[in-house]
């Protein structure tokens, strides 16, 4: 949950962004302390908007679509108070509906936990739903180019919009915690393709006190690897499930090895599953692994 101390560490620009996003004004804020108090009011307002509407009870409404921070989110799962929340980030150019059919399977199979599923919809960048600006062709070209210098550059390339996405994701997770009355360590964050990169990037960027329960990376890849290596030090033994298809022609299979090596080398606990399909969720065993992983990390 966002507290006053955390807001005091933010720049006036970031505080004004939080205030404006909640529909409040900062025009009468003279000192930074004024901005902090107004931003705290804004966070409380945003959290309230993510709670039940018609019945007045605390929590997100299963079956609804609600704005949480900057993202419109589909809410699925338990109708009562959840023991944990599973956030699922779709891939580049996709929609939040893509992984909706998976949620009832997970919910039914994880019988000892009441789960809420939050499926955010990425904003449009240059007309395409994306979490941040990515050149997909650069990754596809790795299938045809063994140029190590090109690979090294791509893995360290700063991506436009990534910093903003981190802040947006952090605010969304704060709002979820406020609305559901849970802590970050009751959240598993999953993602497919660019959503997987975002899930990992966000989880590693968060401070240690906001460590999530675990990460599921489906057909993901490493980005800003020097930053990831540094940020991973804040989250020793953070559980990760990484799956990838050997015939993936979008994010080539070789990137899964780089991803796993990077995370393991920097102290995370990584489970892997590789299959013979392409750039997809994968075969039935992937669902079973997700069930086991979520059950274990939220226990």
Burial zone of 253 (CB within 10 Å; 0-12 exposed, 13-18 middle, 19+ buried): middle
Give the pLDDT confidence of 214-246 residue by residue, as tens digits.
999 999 999 999 999 999 999 999 999 999 999
pLDDT at 146 over 80: no
Helix axis angle for 12-21 and 162-180, nearest 10°, is: 60
- pTM metric for this prediction: 0.82
Please list, residue by residue across 125-152, b when 16 or more beta carbons sit within 10 angstroms of its beta carbon and e when fewer do: eeeebbbbebeeeebeebeeeeeeeeee
CB atoms within 10 A of CB 118: 30
In this structure, of 31-35, 55-59, 86-90, 244-248, the range with the lowest mean pLDDT score is 55-59
CB atoms within 10 A of CB 79: 11
CB 37 within 8 A of CB 57: no
pLDDT at 54 over 80: no
The per-residue pLDDT for 291 is: 97
Q: What string of DSSP letters covers 134-150?
A: --HHHHHGGGT---HHH
> Which structure tokens are listed for 293?
């992983």
Please give the mean pLDDT across all residues of the chain.
90
Helix axis angle for 284-297 and 102-109, nearest 10°, is: 50
Give the pLDDT confidence of 147-186 residue by residue, as tens digits.
777 788 888 988 999 999 999 999 999 999 999 999 999 9
CB 65 within 8 A of CB 117: no
Please tell me the distance from the alpha carbon of residue 274 to that of residue 102, in angstroms, as a whole number.
Answer: 19
Look up tokens 């796993």; give the residue.
Answer: 260
Q: Per-residue pLDDT averaged across 263-279, rounded? A: 97
């Amino acid at each position: 949950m966002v507290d006053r101390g955390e807001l005091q560490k933010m720049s006036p620009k970031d505080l004004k962004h939080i205030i404006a996003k909640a529909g409040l004004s900062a025009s009468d804020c003279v000192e930074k302390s004024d901005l902090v108090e107004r931003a705290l009011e804004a966070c409380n307002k945003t959290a309230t908007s993510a709670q039940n509407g018609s019945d007045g009870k605390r929590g997100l409404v299963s079956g609804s679509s609600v704005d949480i921070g900057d993202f419109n989110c589909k809410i699925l799962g338990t109708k009562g108070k959840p023991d944990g929340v599973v956030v699922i980030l779709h891939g580049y150019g996709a929609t939040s509906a893509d992984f909706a059919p998976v949620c009832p399977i997970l919910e039914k199979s994880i019988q000892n936990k009441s789960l809420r599923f939050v499926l955010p919809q990425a904003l449009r960048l240059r007309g395409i739903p994306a979490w941040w600006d990515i050149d997909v062709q650069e990754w596809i070209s790795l299938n045809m180019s063994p140029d190590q210098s090109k690979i090294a550059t791509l893995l360290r390339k700063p991506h436009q919009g990534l910093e903003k996405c981190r802040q947006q994701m952090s605010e969304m997770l704060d709002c979820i915690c406020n609305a559901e009355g849970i802590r970050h360590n009751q959240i598993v964050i999953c993602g497919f393709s660019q959503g997987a990169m975002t899930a990992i990037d966000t989880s590693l960027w968060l401070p240690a006190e906001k460590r999530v329960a675990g990460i599921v990376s489906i057909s993901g890849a490493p980005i800003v690897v020097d930053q990831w290596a540094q940020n991973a030090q804040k989250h020793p033994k953070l559980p990760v499930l990484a799956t990838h298809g050997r015939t993936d022609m979008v994010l080539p299979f070789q990137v899964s090895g780089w991803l796993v090596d990077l995370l393991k080398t920097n102290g995370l606990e990584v489970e892997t599953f590789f299959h013979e399909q392409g750039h997809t969720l994968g075969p039935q065993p992937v669902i079973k692994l997700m069930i086991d992983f979520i059950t274990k990390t939220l226990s």
